[in-house]
Amino acid sequence: MKMKLILLLITAGLATAQYNPNVRAGRTSIVHLFEWRWDDIAAECERYLGPNGFGGVQVSPVSENYIITNPWRPWDERYQPVSYKICTRSGNEQQFRNMVAKCNNVGVYIYVDVVMNHMTGYGAGVGTGSTCGSYFNSGARDFPGVPYSNLDFNDGKCRSSTGGIESYSDPYQVRDCQLLGLLDLALEKDYVRGKIAEFLNKLISIGVAGFRLDASKHMWPGDIKAVINRLNNLNTQWFPSGAKPFIYQEVIDLGGEAISASEYFGNGRVTEFKYGAKLGNVIRKWNGEKMVYLRNWGEGWGFMPHDRALVFVDNHDNQRGHGAGGGSILTFFDSRLYKMGIGFMLAHPYGFTRVMSSYRWPRYFVNGKDINDWVGPPSYSDGSTKPVTINADSTCGNDWVCEHRWRQIKNMVIFRNVVDGQTLINWWDNGGNQIAFGRGSKGFIVFNNEDWNMDVNLKTGLPAGTYCDVISGQKEGTRCTGKQISVGIDGSARFQISNTAEDPFVAIHVNAKL
Protein backbone atom coordinates (compact mmCIF):
# COMPACT_ATOMS: atom_id res chain seq x y z
CA MET A 1 0.00 0.00 0.00
CA LYS A 2 2.85 2.38 0.85
CA MET A 3 4.50 1.74 -2.54
CA LYS A 4 1.16 2.37 -4.32
CA LEU A 5 0.78 5.66 -2.47
CA ILE A 6 4.29 6.74 -3.50
CA LEU A 7 3.55 5.88 -7.14
CA LEU A 8 0.28 7.82 -6.99
CA LEU A 9 2.09 10.86 -5.61
CA ILE A 10 4.74 10.63 -8.34
CA THR A 11 2.04 10.33 -11.01
CA ALA A 12 0.16 13.31 -9.58
CA GLY A 13 3.38 15.32 -9.61
CA LEU A 14 3.95 14.51 -13.28
CA ALA A 15 0.39 15.45 -14.15
CA THR A 16 0.85 18.89 -12.62
CA ALA A 17 4.27 19.55 -14.16
CA GLN A 18 5.01 20.80 -17.67
CA TYR A 19 2.05 18.84 -19.14
CA ASN A 20 -0.44 21.05 -17.29
CA PRO A 21 -1.61 24.08 -19.32
CA ASN A 22 -2.15 25.97 -16.04
CA VAL A 23 -5.49 27.33 -17.29
CA ARG A 24 -7.97 28.49 -14.68
CA ALA A 25 -10.50 25.94 -13.47
CA GLY A 26 -13.39 25.73 -15.91
CA ARG A 27 -11.32 26.78 -18.94
CA THR A 28 -10.13 24.20 -21.43
CA SER A 29 -8.86 25.79 -24.69
CA ILE A 30 -6.37 28.35 -25.90
CA VAL A 31 -6.36 30.47 -29.05
CA HIS A 32 -3.44 31.40 -31.30
CA LEU A 33 -3.75 35.12 -32.05
CA PHE A 34 -1.26 34.89 -34.90
CA GLU A 35 0.78 38.08 -35.46
CA TRP A 36 -1.48 40.23 -33.25
CA ARG A 37 0.00 43.30 -31.56
CA TRP A 38 0.38 43.15 -27.77
CA ASP A 39 -2.01 46.08 -27.25
CA ASP A 40 -4.70 44.34 -29.29
CA ILE A 41 -4.28 41.07 -27.38
CA ALA A 42 -4.58 42.91 -24.07
CA ALA A 43 -7.84 44.48 -25.23
CA GLU A 44 -9.17 41.17 -26.59
CA CYS A 45 -8.46 39.38 -23.31
CA GLU A 46 -10.53 41.90 -21.38
CA ARG A 47 -13.43 42.43 -23.79
CA TYR A 48 -13.88 38.95 -25.30
CA LEU A 49 -11.60 36.07 -24.33
CA GLY A 50 -12.08 36.38 -20.58
CA PRO A 51 -15.87 36.76 -20.67
CA ASN A 52 -16.22 33.84 -23.11
CA GLY A 53 -14.14 31.31 -21.21
CA PHE A 54 -10.96 31.09 -23.26
CA GLY A 55 -8.09 29.75 -21.19
CA GLY A 56 -5.18 31.46 -22.87
CA VAL A 57 -3.44 32.91 -25.90
CA GLN A 58 -0.50 31.61 -27.90
CA VAL A 59 1.40 34.67 -29.08
CA SER A 60 3.90 35.02 -31.91
CA PRO A 61 7.63 35.06 -31.03
CA VAL A 62 8.57 37.99 -28.80
CA SER A 63 12.33 38.11 -29.45
CA GLU A 64 13.95 40.75 -31.65
CA ASN A 65 14.14 39.54 -35.25
CA TYR A 66 15.76 40.34 -38.56
CA ILE A 67 13.61 42.58 -40.75
CA ILE A 68 13.15 40.83 -44.10
CA THR A 69 12.47 43.20 -46.99
CA ASN A 70 12.56 40.73 -49.89
CA PRO A 71 9.78 39.67 -49.86
CA TRP A 72 8.35 42.59 -47.91
CA ARG A 73 7.99 41.73 -44.21
CA PRO A 74 6.84 38.07 -44.46
CA TRP A 75 5.29 36.37 -41.44
CA ASP A 76 8.29 34.10 -40.96
CA GLU A 77 10.63 36.98 -40.13
CA ARG A 78 9.31 36.48 -36.58
CA TYR A 79 11.19 33.17 -36.61
CA GLN A 80 14.54 34.84 -37.45
CA PRO A 81 15.87 35.98 -34.04
CA VAL A 82 18.90 38.24 -33.71
CA SER A 83 18.69 38.75 -29.93
CA TYR A 84 16.45 37.88 -26.97
CA LYS A 85 15.26 41.43 -26.45
CA ILE A 86 11.45 41.66 -26.27
CA CYS A 87 11.00 43.87 -29.30
CA THR A 88 9.01 42.98 -32.44
CA ARG A 89 6.38 44.49 -34.69
CA SER A 90 3.83 43.30 -32.11
CA GLY A 91 5.27 45.84 -29.65
CA ASN A 92 8.01 46.58 -27.13
CA GLU A 93 8.75 45.05 -23.73
CA GLN A 94 6.54 47.44 -21.77
CA GLN A 95 3.59 46.72 -24.05
CA PHE A 96 4.26 42.99 -23.66
CA ARG A 97 4.35 43.29 -19.86
CA ASN A 98 1.13 45.29 -19.90
CA MET A 99 -0.56 42.63 -22.07
CA VAL A 100 0.52 39.75 -19.82
CA ALA A 101 -0.74 41.51 -16.70
CA LYS A 102 -4.08 42.50 -18.24
CA CYS A 103 -4.72 39.04 -19.67
CA ASN A 104 -3.65 37.23 -16.50
CA ASN A 105 -5.92 39.43 -14.42
CA VAL A 106 -8.96 38.19 -16.34
CA GLY A 107 -7.83 34.55 -16.27
CA VAL A 108 -6.49 34.37 -19.83
CA TYR A 109 -2.90 33.17 -19.74
CA ILE A 110 -0.08 33.75 -22.22
CA TYR A 111 1.93 31.05 -24.02
CA VAL A 112 4.94 32.34 -25.95
CA ASP A 113 6.08 30.80 -29.22
CA VAL A 114 9.83 30.43 -28.59
CA VAL A 115 12.58 30.07 -31.21
CA MET A 116 15.52 28.37 -29.52
CA ASN A 117 16.75 26.11 -32.32
CA HIS A 118 18.45 28.82 -34.34
CA MET A 119 19.28 32.44 -35.06
CA THR A 120 18.66 34.15 -38.39
CA GLY A 121 20.72 32.99 -41.33
CA TYR A 122 19.83 35.93 -43.53
CA GLY A 123 21.47 39.33 -43.86
CA ALA A 124 24.95 37.84 -44.00
CA GLY A 125 27.53 40.47 -43.29
CA VAL A 126 27.18 43.43 -40.96
CA GLY A 127 23.59 44.36 -40.31
CA THR A 128 21.29 46.33 -38.06
CA GLY A 129 18.12 45.45 -39.98
CA SER A 130 16.37 44.27 -36.84
CA THR A 131 13.24 45.25 -34.98
CA CYS A 132 15.17 46.98 -32.17
CA GLY A 133 18.20 48.10 -34.17
CA SER A 134 20.62 45.57 -32.67
CA TYR A 135 23.82 44.96 -34.58
CA PHE A 136 24.43 41.43 -35.85
CA ASN A 137 26.65 39.71 -38.40
CA SER A 138 25.20 36.36 -39.34
CA GLY A 139 28.07 35.62 -41.72
CA ALA A 140 30.53 35.86 -38.82
CA ARG A 141 28.04 34.17 -36.41
CA ASP A 142 28.19 37.33 -34.30
CA PHE A 143 25.07 38.23 -32.31
CA PRO A 144 26.25 40.61 -29.55
CA GLY A 145 22.67 41.25 -28.43
CA VAL A 146 22.66 37.82 -26.73
CA PRO A 147 25.72 37.51 -27.02
CA TYR A 148 26.49 34.53 -29.29
CA SER A 149 29.70 34.01 -31.27
CA ASN A 150 30.96 31.46 -33.78
CA LEU A 151 31.59 29.12 -30.83
CA ASP A 152 27.86 28.74 -30.22
CA PHE A 153 26.70 27.16 -33.49
CA ASN A 154 26.70 23.66 -34.99
CA ASP A 155 28.62 24.47 -38.18
CA GLY A 156 31.37 21.94 -37.44
CA LYS A 157 28.98 19.26 -36.25
CA CYS A 158 26.67 19.01 -39.27
CA ARG A 159 27.14 15.83 -41.30
CA SER A 160 25.81 17.11 -44.64
CA SER A 161 27.88 18.43 -47.55
CA THR A 162 25.95 21.72 -47.77
CA GLY A 163 25.56 22.47 -44.06
CA GLY A 164 21.79 22.13 -44.44
CA ILE A 165 19.36 19.25 -43.95
CA GLU A 166 19.61 17.00 -47.00
CA SER A 167 17.89 13.89 -45.66
CA TYR A 168 15.09 13.63 -43.12
CA SER A 169 15.95 9.95 -42.69
CA ASP A 170 19.13 11.03 -40.90
CA PRO A 171 18.27 12.26 -37.38
CA TYR A 172 21.75 13.79 -36.98
CA GLN A 173 21.27 16.01 -40.02
CA VAL A 174 17.76 17.01 -38.90
CA ARG A 175 19.05 18.12 -35.50
CA ASP A 176 22.60 19.32 -36.17
CA CYS A 177 22.32 20.97 -39.59
CA GLN A 178 20.72 24.21 -40.73
CA LEU A 179 16.97 24.27 -41.26
CA LEU A 180 16.26 26.42 -44.35
CA GLY A 181 19.58 28.23 -43.99
CA LEU A 182 18.97 29.26 -40.36
CA LEU A 183 22.02 29.19 -38.09
CA ASP A 184 21.72 26.10 -35.90
CA LEU A 185 22.54 26.74 -32.24
CA ALA A 186 24.77 24.29 -30.36
CA LEU A 187 22.24 23.42 -27.67
CA GLU A 188 24.57 20.81 -26.19
CA LYS A 189 26.72 23.66 -24.85
CA ASP A 190 26.10 24.82 -21.33
CA TYR A 191 26.51 28.48 -22.28
CA VAL A 192 23.83 28.31 -25.00
CA ARG A 193 21.44 26.46 -22.69
CA GLY A 194 22.03 29.12 -20.07
CA LYS A 195 21.26 32.05 -22.38
CA ILE A 196 18.01 30.45 -23.57
CA ALA A 197 16.95 29.58 -20.02
CA GLU A 198 17.76 33.15 -18.94
CA PHE A 199 15.42 34.45 -21.66
CA LEU A 200 12.61 32.06 -20.76
CA ASN A 201 12.96 32.78 -17.05
CA LYS A 202 12.57 36.48 -17.79
CA LEU A 203 9.29 35.71 -19.55
CA ILE A 204 8.22 33.55 -16.60
CA SER A 205 8.98 36.40 -14.20
CA ILE A 206 6.79 38.69 -16.33
CA GLY A 207 3.94 36.21 -15.87
CA VAL A 208 3.68 33.91 -18.90
CA ALA A 209 2.17 30.46 -18.32
CA GLY A 210 4.19 28.39 -20.75
CA PHE A 211 5.90 27.97 -24.09
CA ARG A 212 5.45 26.50 -27.56
CA LEU A 213 8.90 25.33 -28.60
CA ASP A 214 9.25 25.97 -32.31
CA ALA A 215 11.11 23.43 -34.47
CA SER A 216 11.54 20.96 -31.59
CA LYS A 217 12.06 18.15 -34.08
CA HIS A 218 15.30 19.91 -35.03
CA MET A 219 16.64 19.79 -31.46
CA TRP A 220 17.78 16.77 -29.46
CA PRO A 221 15.20 15.90 -26.76
CA GLY A 222 17.94 15.80 -24.15
CA ASP A 223 19.05 19.33 -25.01
CA ILE A 224 15.48 20.58 -24.64
CA LYS A 225 15.21 18.76 -21.30
CA ALA A 226 18.42 20.43 -20.09
CA VAL A 227 16.92 23.86 -20.79
CA ILE A 228 13.56 22.99 -19.21
CA ASN A 229 15.33 21.79 -16.07
CA ARG A 230 16.71 25.31 -15.60
CA LEU A 231 13.32 27.01 -15.73
CA ASN A 232 11.83 28.69 -12.68
CA ASN A 233 8.36 28.06 -11.30
CA LEU A 234 5.60 30.36 -12.51
CA ASN A 235 5.00 33.80 -11.02
CA THR A 236 2.98 33.36 -7.82
CA GLN A 237 1.19 36.66 -8.42
CA TRP A 238 -1.05 34.67 -10.78
CA PHE A 239 -0.19 30.98 -10.35
CA PRO A 240 -0.08 28.52 -7.42
CA SER A 241 3.22 28.05 -5.63
CA GLY A 242 5.34 25.42 -7.37
CA ALA A 243 3.49 25.59 -10.70
CA LYS A 244 5.70 24.69 -13.68
CA PRO A 245 5.54 26.34 -17.11
CA PHE A 246 3.43 24.46 -19.65
CA ILE A 247 5.64 23.05 -22.42
CA TYR A 248 4.40 21.96 -25.83
CA GLN A 249 6.84 21.07 -28.58
CA GLU A 250 6.38 21.42 -32.33
CA VAL A 251 7.24 17.99 -33.72
CA ILE A 252 5.81 17.16 -37.15
CA ASP A 253 5.43 13.38 -37.15
CA LEU A 254 3.08 11.91 -39.76
CA GLY A 255 5.00 8.64 -39.64
CA GLY A 256 7.71 7.28 -41.92
CA GLU A 257 10.59 9.48 -40.74
CA ALA A 258 13.56 8.79 -38.50
CA ILE A 259 12.31 11.06 -35.71
CA SER A 260 9.25 10.21 -33.64
CA ALA A 261 7.07 12.52 -31.54
CA SER A 262 7.29 9.99 -28.69
CA GLU A 263 10.96 10.87 -28.19
CA TYR A 264 9.79 14.23 -26.80
CA PHE A 265 7.10 13.05 -24.34
CA GLY A 266 9.51 13.34 -21.43
CA ASN A 267 9.75 17.11 -21.90
CA GLY A 268 6.08 18.08 -22.16
CA ARG A 269 3.18 17.86 -24.56
CA VAL A 270 3.71 17.54 -28.31
CA THR A 271 1.78 18.96 -31.28
CA GLU A 272 -0.28 16.12 -32.83
CA PHE A 273 -0.10 16.98 -36.53
CA LYS A 274 -1.90 13.79 -37.58
CA TYR A 275 -5.04 15.18 -35.90
CA GLY A 276 -5.82 17.97 -38.38
CA ALA A 277 -4.55 16.06 -41.41
CA LYS A 278 -6.77 13.03 -40.78
CA LEU A 279 -9.79 14.99 -39.55
CA GLY A 280 -9.63 17.05 -42.74
CA ASN A 281 -9.74 13.86 -44.83
CA VAL A 282 -12.82 12.67 -42.92
CA ILE A 283 -14.77 15.94 -43.05
CA ARG A 284 -13.94 16.35 -46.78
CA LYS A 285 -14.91 12.67 -47.35
CA TRP A 286 -11.69 12.08 -49.23
CA ASN A 287 -10.29 8.62 -49.96
CA GLY A 288 -13.52 6.95 -48.85
CA GLU A 289 -13.29 8.35 -45.33
CA LYS A 290 -16.54 8.62 -43.32
CA MET A 291 -17.45 10.26 -40.03
CA VAL A 292 -18.49 6.88 -38.63
CA TYR A 293 -14.77 6.07 -38.51
CA LEU A 294 -14.37 8.74 -35.82
CA ARG A 295 -15.92 6.35 -33.29
CA ASN A 296 -12.48 5.45 -31.91
CA TRP A 297 -10.89 8.87 -32.57
CA GLY A 298 -7.68 9.57 -30.67
CA GLU A 299 -5.31 6.81 -29.63
CA GLY A 300 -7.42 4.41 -31.70
CA TRP A 301 -6.21 6.24 -34.81
CA GLY A 302 -2.58 5.84 -33.81
CA PHE A 303 -2.34 9.27 -32.22
CA MET A 304 -0.12 9.97 -29.22
CA PRO A 305 -1.52 9.50 -25.68
CA HIS A 306 -4.31 11.93 -24.77
CA ASP A 307 -2.33 13.53 -21.94
CA ARG A 308 0.64 14.27 -24.21
CA ALA A 309 -1.27 15.78 -27.15
CA LEU A 310 -1.75 19.43 -28.10
CA VAL A 311 -4.39 19.27 -30.85
CA PHE A 312 -5.64 21.67 -33.53
CA VAL A 313 -7.50 21.62 -36.83
CA ASP A 314 -5.05 24.00 -38.51
CA ASN A 315 -2.06 26.12 -37.55
CA HIS A 316 -0.18 29.05 -39.07
CA ASP A 317 2.02 26.72 -41.15
CA ASN A 318 -0.33 24.12 -42.57
CA GLN A 319 -3.13 26.57 -43.35
CA ARG A 320 -0.60 27.87 -45.90
CA GLY A 321 -0.06 24.44 -47.41
CA HIS A 322 3.19 23.49 -45.70
CA GLY A 323 4.23 22.09 -42.34
CA ALA A 324 2.28 18.79 -42.66
CA GLY A 325 -1.16 17.81 -43.84
CA GLY A 326 -1.31 19.08 -47.39
CA GLY A 327 -4.63 19.88 -49.03
CA SER A 328 -6.73 18.03 -46.46
CA ILE A 329 -6.19 20.73 -43.82
CA LEU A 330 -9.39 22.62 -43.05
CA THR A 331 -9.05 26.42 -42.83
CA PHE A 332 -11.20 29.53 -42.69
CA PHE A 333 -11.18 29.54 -46.50
CA ASP A 334 -13.50 26.47 -46.26
CA SER A 335 -15.62 28.01 -43.52
CA ARG A 336 -18.55 25.55 -43.57
CA LEU A 337 -16.36 22.45 -43.29
CA TYR A 338 -13.95 24.26 -40.98
CA LYS A 339 -16.64 25.00 -38.40
CA MET A 340 -17.64 21.33 -38.43
CA GLY A 341 -14.04 20.29 -37.82
CA ILE A 342 -13.60 22.77 -34.97
CA GLY A 343 -16.98 21.73 -33.55
CA PHE A 344 -15.91 18.09 -33.50
CA MET A 345 -12.53 18.89 -31.94
CA LEU A 346 -14.05 20.96 -29.14
CA ALA A 347 -16.76 18.39 -28.41
CA HIS A 348 -14.42 15.37 -28.36
CA PRO A 349 -12.40 14.77 -25.16
CA TYR A 350 -9.06 13.86 -26.79
CA GLY A 351 -6.09 16.17 -26.20
CA PHE A 352 -5.65 19.79 -25.13
CA THR A 353 -7.23 22.05 -27.76
CA ARG A 354 -5.94 25.15 -29.53
CA VAL A 355 -8.09 27.30 -31.82
CA MET A 356 -6.56 29.28 -34.68
CA SER A 357 -7.19 32.99 -35.32
CA SER A 358 -5.85 34.21 -38.64
CA TYR A 359 -5.56 37.07 -41.09
CA ARG A 360 -6.49 37.06 -44.77
CA TRP A 361 -3.97 37.12 -47.57
CA PRO A 362 -4.50 37.09 -51.36
CA ARG A 363 -4.02 33.47 -52.34
CA TYR A 364 -2.53 32.94 -55.81
CA PHE A 365 -1.91 29.40 -57.01
CA VAL A 366 0.72 28.35 -59.53
CA ASN A 367 0.99 24.62 -60.24
CA GLY A 368 -1.09 23.93 -57.13
CA LYS A 369 1.09 26.02 -54.80
CA ASP A 370 0.03 29.27 -53.17
CA ILE A 371 2.89 31.60 -54.08
CA ASN A 372 1.58 34.20 -51.61
CA ASP A 373 1.96 31.91 -48.58
CA TRP A 374 4.73 34.24 -47.31
CA VAL A 375 2.51 37.32 -46.91
CA GLY A 376 2.79 38.95 -43.48
CA PRO A 377 0.04 40.40 -41.31
CA PRO A 378 -2.17 43.33 -42.40
CA SER A 379 0.26 46.24 -42.46
CA TYR A 380 0.74 49.88 -43.35
CA SER A 381 3.20 50.95 -46.04
CA ASP A 382 5.97 51.35 -43.45
CA GLY A 383 5.65 47.69 -42.47
CA SER A 384 3.94 48.32 -39.11
CA THR A 385 1.08 45.97 -38.26
CA LYS A 386 -2.46 47.26 -38.51
CA PRO A 387 -4.61 47.15 -35.36
CA VAL A 388 -7.38 44.59 -34.99
CA THR A 389 -10.58 46.58 -35.33
CA ILE A 390 -13.93 45.23 -34.13
CA ASN A 391 -17.05 45.71 -36.26
CA ALA A 392 -20.55 46.28 -34.92
CA ASP A 393 -21.45 42.62 -35.55
CA SER A 394 -18.45 41.43 -33.45
CA THR A 395 -16.41 40.40 -36.50
CA CYS A 396 -12.98 41.91 -37.15
CA GLY A 397 -11.83 44.47 -39.70
CA ASN A 398 -8.49 45.30 -41.35
CA ASP A 399 -8.34 41.79 -42.90
CA TRP A 400 -8.15 40.04 -39.52
CA VAL A 401 -10.28 36.87 -39.74
CA CYS A 402 -10.80 36.26 -36.00
CA GLU A 403 -12.22 32.72 -36.28
CA HIS A 404 -12.37 32.60 -32.48
CA ARG A 405 -15.09 35.27 -32.68
CA TRP A 406 -17.28 33.23 -35.03
CA ARG A 407 -20.38 32.40 -32.98
CA GLN A 408 -20.14 28.66 -33.70
CA ILE A 409 -16.51 28.43 -32.59
CA LYS A 410 -16.85 30.69 -29.54
CA ASN A 411 -19.91 28.71 -28.39
CA MET A 412 -18.07 25.40 -28.83
CA VAL A 413 -15.21 26.71 -26.67
CA ILE A 414 -17.90 27.29 -24.02
CA PHE A 415 -19.38 23.82 -24.74
CA ARG A 416 -16.00 22.22 -24.02
CA ASN A 417 -15.75 24.09 -20.74
CA VAL A 418 -19.23 22.90 -19.69
CA VAL A 419 -18.59 19.21 -20.49
CA ASP A 420 -15.03 19.10 -19.12
CA GLY A 421 -14.33 15.83 -17.31
CA GLN A 422 -17.40 14.05 -18.74
CA THR A 423 -16.91 10.80 -20.63
CA LEU A 424 -17.98 10.28 -24.23
CA ILE A 425 -21.29 8.38 -24.22
CA ASN A 426 -24.35 7.64 -26.39
CA TRP A 427 -22.43 7.41 -29.65
CA TRP A 428 -24.74 7.08 -32.66
CA ASP A 429 -24.09 6.94 -36.39
CA ASN A 430 -25.88 5.98 -39.59
CA GLY A 431 -22.92 3.95 -40.82
CA GLY A 432 -21.78 6.89 -42.93
CA ASN A 433 -21.48 10.63 -42.34
CA GLN A 434 -24.15 11.27 -39.75
CA ILE A 435 -22.87 10.93 -36.19
CA ALA A 436 -23.78 12.05 -32.68
CA PHE A 437 -22.35 11.66 -29.20
CA GLY A 438 -22.80 12.98 -25.70
CA ARG A 439 -20.45 14.10 -22.97
CA GLY A 440 -21.90 12.58 -19.81
CA SER A 441 -25.07 14.37 -18.73
CA LYS A 442 -23.71 17.81 -19.72
CA GLY A 443 -23.71 18.06 -23.53
CA PHE A 444 -24.67 16.46 -26.84
CA ILE A 445 -23.65 17.12 -30.46
CA VAL A 446 -25.02 15.90 -33.81
CA PHE A 447 -23.45 16.15 -37.30
CA ASN A 448 -25.03 15.68 -40.72
CA ASN A 449 -22.29 15.51 -43.33
CA GLU A 450 -24.39 13.54 -45.80
CA ASP A 451 -25.93 14.80 -49.05
CA TRP A 452 -29.46 14.35 -47.70
CA ASN A 453 -31.53 15.66 -44.79
CA MET A 454 -31.38 14.16 -41.32
CA ASP A 455 -34.38 13.42 -39.08
CA VAL A 456 -33.62 11.16 -36.11
CA ASN A 457 -34.58 10.60 -32.49
CA LEU A 458 -31.53 10.12 -30.29
CA LYS A 459 -30.77 9.43 -26.65
CA THR A 460 -28.88 12.48 -25.37
CA GLY A 461 -28.30 11.67 -21.71
CA LEU A 462 -29.34 15.23 -20.80
CA PRO A 463 -32.05 16.20 -18.30
CA ALA A 464 -35.51 16.86 -19.73
CA GLY A 465 -36.19 20.39 -20.92
CA THR A 466 -35.83 22.87 -23.77
CA TYR A 467 -32.31 23.65 -24.94
CA CYS A 468 -30.87 26.29 -27.25
CA ASP A 469 -28.73 25.00 -30.09
CA VAL A 470 -25.43 26.88 -29.70
CA ILE A 471 -24.50 26.51 -33.39
CA SER A 472 -27.47 28.20 -35.11
CA GLY A 473 -27.73 30.66 -32.23
CA GLN A 474 -27.42 30.70 -28.46
CA LYS A 475 -29.28 31.28 -25.22
CA GLU A 476 -29.88 34.96 -24.51
CA GLY A 477 -31.85 35.62 -21.36
CA THR A 478 -34.98 33.47 -21.51
CA ARG A 479 -34.97 32.76 -25.25
CA CYS A 480 -33.00 31.04 -28.00
CA THR A 481 -31.70 33.07 -30.93
CA GLY A 482 -31.45 29.88 -33.05
CA LYS A 483 -33.00 26.41 -33.00
CA GLN A 484 -34.68 24.95 -29.91
CA ILE A 485 -34.25 21.28 -29.02
CA SER A 486 -36.75 19.59 -26.71
CA VAL A 487 -35.36 16.75 -24.60
CA GLY A 488 -37.98 14.37 -23.23
CA ILE A 489 -38.27 12.78 -19.82
CA ASP A 490 -36.34 9.75 -21.13
CA GLY A 491 -33.46 11.97 -22.30
CA SER A 492 -34.30 11.57 -25.99
CA ALA A 493 -34.67 14.35 -28.55
CA ARG A 494 -35.52 14.75 -32.23
CA PHE A 495 -32.83 16.27 -34.45
CA GLN A 496 -33.65 17.61 -37.91
CA ILE A 497 -30.64 18.91 -39.85
CA SER A 498 -30.79 19.92 -43.50
CA ASN A 499 -27.82 18.94 -45.63
CA THR A 500 -27.93 22.48 -47.07
CA ALA A 501 -27.86 24.23 -43.69
CA GLU A 502 -25.23 26.91 -43.24
CA ASP A 503 -23.86 24.75 -40.43
CA PRO A 504 -25.07 21.14 -40.63
CA PHE A 505 -24.56 20.33 -36.96
CA VAL A 506 -26.34 20.98 -33.66
CA ALA A 507 -24.90 21.22 -30.14
CA ILE A 508 -26.70 21.56 -26.80
CA HIS A 509 -25.43 21.70 -23.25
CA VAL A 510 -26.86 22.17 -19.77
CA ASN A 511 -25.89 25.84 -19.56
CA ALA A 512 -27.95 26.52 -22.69
CA LYS A 513 -31.15 25.10 -21.16
CA LEU A 514 -34.10 27.45 -20.89
Three-class SS string for 280-307? HHHHHCHHHCCHHHHHHCCHHHCCCCHH
176 is catalytic: no
CA atoms of 10 and 28, how far apart (whole Å): 24
CA atoms of 514 and 511, how far apart (whole Å): 8
Task: Tell me which of 77, 113, 184, 214 is the catalytic residue.
Answer: 214
**What is the per-residue DSSP string for 430-491?**
-SSSEEEEEETTTEEEEEE-SSS-EEEEEE--PPSEEEE-TTT--EETTEESS-EEEE-TTS
Q: Which residues contact 163 (CB under 8 A, 6 or more apart)?
A: 155, 177, 178
Q: Which residues contact 304 (CB under 8 A, 6 or more apart)?
A: 261, 262, 265, 270, 272
Q: Quick one: DSSP state of residue 48?
A: I
Count CB neighbours of 8 within 10 A: 10
By the 10 Å C-beta count (0-12 exposed, 13-18 middle, 19+ buried), 455 is classed as exposed
* Beta pairing class for 352-357 and 365-366: unpaired
299 is catalytic: no
**In this structure, are residues 310 and 270 in contact, taking their beta carbons and an 8 Å threshold?**
yes
Helix (H) or strand (E) holding 274: helix 273-284
CA atoms of 46 and 275, how far apart (whole Å): 31
Task: Tell me which of 113, 176, 250, 403 is the catalytic residue.
Answer: 250
Catalytic site residues? 214, 250
